[in-house]
């Protein structure tokens, strides 16, 4: 019995200690960009796959993101078809190109490949990979809140001395707004290496004391043939060697020795010093969700209603932020809910438009479409106006969800909120166009585009504004446009202030506001004739590119930024009234209740009632 007890203890000790690292080789591919404009990406990837299939003793392949150019369902299927011809197992994670313009908010990436994060052990090393955004809206890279929750659960089951290689599309630096959440966790474990893509070139890196390697893009770029990397793992090091498929293996270009990390140094962290400048501004409450929130909450009947990336619709008490009810959809939610007559309406990545009871969260009706519904609804009278990813825009009966009409003339997804103006519903799509559709019968009145051949400059993220029969939009090409609301003709445009996707309008309709890409808010007089900026205000928010709209109420203009700060400015004096930093991720368009209170939500899953 004593001998059995000793054997049991020895066995327990054996299983508690990670096995010694045994040598093996894997392949690192990155940034394949299937569907890129010049059409060579598919050939490059097929050549790489054929070459890998001829290599001996390859354990597996890891692909670190930007699998496609625009994340379309068609591009995802082509990529999977090519990669499935690999003779060894592959592990794959998405990059910003797969999620930023995704028709499904990333849902179809997951359904195509089966996951957007992975964990497996091989020859003594634990490999961990997870997704990174941005999702649908332009922003910095961001490890989703749900992935952080998953990582915490995984690390809790991982021995502290277990060797780890972490994989992500982005370098784990401030190109991700929450990079420190990864490094702070991995430093407490035996992390040997972080591998990434995104930069398209081979680089040896260091992430706060953790060795890193960026692998080259598989694309040929200006060379005749693309390339990938052999990664040889030994018990004391990792060696990277570039391979030109079908041509040659180049000399090894970097070696990472397995050394003990130095965790004594202090590194950059986001500063919240701006909050000390405006001590009168405080959060009355903060709700921290366990998934990203990438939409504007609705506020009605003392409830705050929003959806998250896990597909959950939540209602919180406006008074204290306590949960009141929740409802599960089967897809990520990027749709900002609209509320009327005790009903909440919003879309889901699962392809449905939902109508819920505001008081209870119970389902009243849902309408199935042919693709994800990322667009946000507007309700007027008994009609819900909403666009989806099935190349359609719908007018639905608020009572039962039946369609009054469907406009099918789109060539890309709708991800924003329409403008109701006169007898038109006006909205953009990721197909280069802005549309005006008759709100009574769904007939096309006009369509407009900024004159570019690529969809990346579409007026799709901007919520249009209008005054005196002129519609205003800003596009990713950093230009404001004034468009005749009746004919769809361009009246004037201006690009000197570098506005990008964020727009607003004054309460009296006299000015259109824009948020520029560097520090400034700009105002243009509304007019049918060409305008230059009426005023430009330096608000000091730094580099900026997120499409959070500017909202004027009670003589103040409110807006959020990419680094988690909400601003209130006085347009009359062009001075900042106050600012408040919530976290370090994108702030969605805010819901202003009055000049003293607003609801703000962030990509990192925070929903906050800010008061001053």
Report yes or no: 560 and 600 within 8 Å, Cβ to Cβ: yes
- Structure tokens belonging to residue 521: 């808010």
* CA–CA gap between residue 170 and residue 181 (Å, rounded): 14
Quickly state the pLDDT bin for 157 (edges 50, 70, 90). very high
Residue 275's pLDDT is 97
Task: Reduce the secondary structure of 551-598 to three states and give it as a string.
Answer: EEECCEEEEECCCCEEEEEECCCCEEEEEEECCCCCECCCEEEECCEE
- Structure tokens belonging to residue 117: 């994060």
Counting DSSP H helices and E strands in the chain, the numbers are 8, 44
CB neighbour class for 192 (10 Å; exposed up to 12, middle 13-18, buried from 19)? buried
Report the share of the chain in percent with pLDDT over 90: 90
As a whole number, the mean pLDDT across the chain is 94
Report yes or no: 599 and 284 within 8 Å, Cβ to Cβ: no
Residue 249's pLDDT is 97
Report yes or no: 450 and 459 within 8 Å, Cβ to Cβ: yes
Report yes or no: 577 and 568 within 8 Å, Cβ to Cβ: yes
Its pTM stands at 0.93
* CA–CA gap between residue 519 and residue 125 (Å, rounded): 45
Sequence-distant (≥ 6) Cβ neighbours of residue 302 within 8 angstroms? 317, 318, 319
Sequence-distant (≥ 6) Cβ neighbours of residue 23 within 8 angstroms? 123, 232, 233, 234, 235
Residue 19's pLDDT is 55
Residue 546 has pLDDT above 60, yes or no: yes
Residue 210's nearest CA partner among 168, 169, 262, 267 is: 262
Phi, psi (rounded to 5 degrees) for 74: -65, -40
Residue 264's pLDDT is 79
Quickly state the pLDDT bin for 38 (edges 50, 70, 90). confident
Residue 8 has pLDDT above 90, yes or no: no
Which DSSP letter does residue 264 get? Answer: -
* CA–CA gap between residue 267 and residue 261 (Å, rounded): 14
How close are the terminal C-alpha atoms of the chain, in Å? 71
* CA–CA gap between residue 603 and residue 133 (Å, rounded): 10
* CA–CA gap between residue 433 and residue 436 (Å, rounded): 10
Quickly state the pLDDT bin for 369 (edges 50, 70, 90). very high
Residue 15 has pLDDT above 70, yes or no: no
* CA–CA gap between residue 435 and residue 419 (Å, rounded): 10
| Mean pLDDT across 154-168 | 97
| Mean pLDDT across 430-435 | 96
| Mean pLDDT across 538-564 | 95
| Mean pLDDT across 270-293 | 97
| Mean pLDDT across 540-564 | 95
């Amino acid at each position: 019995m004593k001998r059995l007890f000793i054997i049991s203890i020895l066995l327990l000790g054996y299983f508690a200690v990670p096995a010694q690292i045994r040598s093996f080789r894997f392949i690192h591919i990155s940034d394949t960009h299937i569907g890129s404009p010049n059409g060579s990406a598919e050939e490059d990837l097929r050549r790489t796959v054929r070459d890998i299939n001829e290599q001996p003793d390859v354990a597996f392949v890891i692909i670190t993101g930007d699998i496609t150019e625009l994340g379309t369902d068609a591009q995802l299927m082509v990529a999977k078809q090519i990669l499935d011809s690999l003779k060894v197992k592959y592990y794959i994670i998405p990059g910003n190109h797969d999620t930023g313009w995704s028709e499904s908010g990333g849902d179809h990436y997951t359904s195509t490949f089966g996951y957007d994060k992975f964990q497996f052990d091989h020859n003594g090393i634990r490999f961990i990979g997870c997704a990174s955004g941005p999702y649908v809206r332009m922003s910095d890279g961001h490890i989703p809140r749900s992935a952080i929750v998953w990582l915490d659960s995984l690390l809790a089951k991982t021995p502290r001395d277990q060797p780890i290689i972490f994989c992500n599309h982005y370098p784990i630096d401030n190109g991700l707004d929450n990079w420190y959440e990864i490094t702070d966790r991995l430093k407490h474990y035996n992390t040997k290496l972080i591998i990434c893509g995104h930069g398209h070139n081979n680089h040896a890196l260091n992430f706060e004391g953790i060795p890193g390697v960026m692998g080259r893009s598989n694309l040929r770029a200006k060379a005749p043939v693309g390339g990938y990397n052999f990664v040889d793992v030994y018990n004391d090091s990792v060696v990277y060697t570039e391979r030109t498929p079908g041509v040659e293996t180049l000399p090894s270009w970097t070696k990472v020795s397995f050394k003990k990390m130095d965790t004594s140094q202090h590194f950059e962290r986001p500063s919240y010093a701006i909050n000390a400048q405006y001590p009168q501004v405080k959060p009355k409450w903060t709700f921290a969700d366990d998934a990203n929130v990438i939409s504007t909450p609705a506020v009605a009947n003392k409830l705050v209603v929003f959806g998250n990336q896990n597909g959950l619709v939540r209602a919180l008490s406006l008074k204290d932020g306590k949960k009141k009810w929740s409802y599960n959809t089967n897809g990520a939610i990027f749709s900002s809910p609209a509320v009327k007559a005790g009903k909440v309406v919003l879309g889901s990545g699962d392809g449905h438009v939902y109508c819920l009871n505001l008081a209870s969260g119970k389902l009243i009706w849902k309408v199935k479409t042919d693709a994800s519904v990322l667009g946000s609804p507007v309700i007027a009278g008994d009609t819900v106006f909403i666009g989806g990813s099935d190349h359609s825009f719908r007018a639905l009966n608020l009572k039962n969800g039946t369609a009054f009409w469907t406009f099918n003339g789109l060539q890309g997804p709708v991800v924003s909120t329409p403008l109701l103006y006169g007898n038109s519903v006006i909205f953009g799509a990721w197909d280069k166009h802005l549309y005006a559709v008759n709100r009574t019968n769904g007939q096309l009145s006009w369509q407009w585009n900024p004159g570019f051949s690529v969809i990346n400059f579409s007026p799709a993220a901007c919520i249009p504004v209008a005054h005196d029969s002129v519609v205003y939009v800003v596009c990713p090409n950093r230009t404001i446009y004034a468009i005749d609301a009746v004919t769809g003709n361009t009246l004037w445009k201006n690009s000197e202030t570098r506005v990008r996707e964020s727009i607003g309008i004054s309460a009296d309709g006299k000015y259109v506001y824009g948020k520029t890409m560097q520090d400034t808010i700009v105002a243009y007089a509304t007019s049918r004739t060409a305008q230059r900026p009426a005023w430009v205000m330096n608000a000091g928010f730094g580099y900026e590119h997120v499409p959070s709209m500017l909202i004027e109420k009670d003589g103040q203009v409110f807006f959020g930024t990419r680094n988690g700060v909400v601003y209130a400015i006085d347009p009359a004096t062009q001075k900042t009234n106050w600012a408040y930093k919530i976290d370090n991720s994108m702030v969605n368009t805010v819901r202003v209740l009055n000049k003293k209170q607003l609801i703000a939500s962030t990509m990192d899953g925070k929903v906050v009632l800010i008061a001053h």
